[in-house]
Amino acid sequence: MEDSEGPPPPTEVSVFMAEEAYVYRIPPATTVGHRAETWNVNSWLQEVRVRVVSRDEDAWVRLEELETGNLFAECPVPIHVPLSTAVEPVIDSSRYFVLKIVDRDSGRHAFIGLGFREREKASDFNATLHEHMQYVRRKHTAAGLRTQYEEQLAANLAMAAPDSLPQATDFSIPEGQNLVLKVPAAHLNGGCSTPKSGFISSNRGRLSKTFSLLMDGEGNVIAGMSPRTTVDEMGLSPSSSTSSALPDGEGSIFLGLPRLSGAAPVHRDEWGDFVA
């Protein structure tokens, strides 16, 4: 039969003990706080052993009878409120404190005075309580940071989900689509020789030509086409010595394209049939 019980509760740990201390009846506090000189410190109510016990975030100051070891009174250490609401030092001595003791059964509380014979023990008692409060605060801070990290991680994962990602854009060229490119020609002057056709460009010495590429469905070039372009459209003027050398009488010129990879050969007779 499987054990259905959960994990065992945390174990109580004794983090401080003083073998000799005294409990006092105390008058009400003054406007500035409690003063030990008003307690009649030579007339105590009970001699006790002081023990500070912790269990995870919880802690208690337990006062035990010296002879029997029975619990005389217990002061729970607060977690979410200042320590001084339960353990308050007096204003005129470092060896005396005011404790808020609470009855386990009824929950009723009362205030009593606690004095240590040795100043060093009183200092250790005070330091132990403050260390426990710091431990609780650090634990709560770490828990808050962990919760914040988990929430941020969940948000990042939600943003990275496939449904939230933008659809990829298809940049492939459809089959049969013409791709138009404008390619500048070489300089006609400025260190370069004048071409044989004798054309001088009025567009800063450059000859430009527009042609089209025919693509297949896989993005490969299958044909190159160069439309007829007139001299006037390109901003060119023929020289006087070469005006008779035009391909035809309309002032049109044609630029041949090199055969591209995968392209079918294009046969074109620029001059037509020659008759002797």
Query: Looking at residue 249, what is its pLDDT?
Result: 42
pLDDT digits (tens, 9 = 90+) for 83-103: 999 999 999 999 999 999 999
For the chain, which residues make up each domain, given as ranges? Answer: 13-143, 178-253
Nearest of 224, 213, 219, 211 to residue 175 by alpha carbon: 219
Residue 135 has pLDDT above 70, yes or no: yes
* 247 neighbors 253 (Cβ within 8 angstroms): yes
Residue 197 has pLDDT above 60, yes or no: no
Residue 119 has pLDDT above 50, yes or no: yes
Residue 100 corresponds to which tokens in the numbers above? Answer: 């808020």
CATH code for the part of the protein at 13-143: 2.30.29.30
Residue 49 has pLDDT above 80, yes or no: yes
Instruction: Taking residues 26-50, report their average pLDDT.
Output: 92
Query: Looking at residue 218, what is its pLDDT?
Result: 64
pLDDT digits (tens, 9 = 90+) for 227-274: 555 555 555 455 444 444 444 444 444 444 444 444 455 555 555 554
Instruction: Taking residues 201-215, report their average pLDDT.
Output: 55
Residue 89 corresponds to which tokens in the numbers above? Answer: 């030092």
* 24 neighbors 45 (Cβ within 8 angstroms): yes
Rounded CA gap, 251 and 266, in Å? 23
Which one is predicted more confidently, 13 or 1? 13
0.85 exceeded by the pTM? no
pLDDT digits (tens, 9 = 90+) for 148-163: 888 888 888 887 766 6
Query: Range with the lowest mean pLDDT among 28-37, 117-126, 174-183?
Result: 174-183
Instruction: Taking residues 159-171, report their average pLDDT.
Output: 67
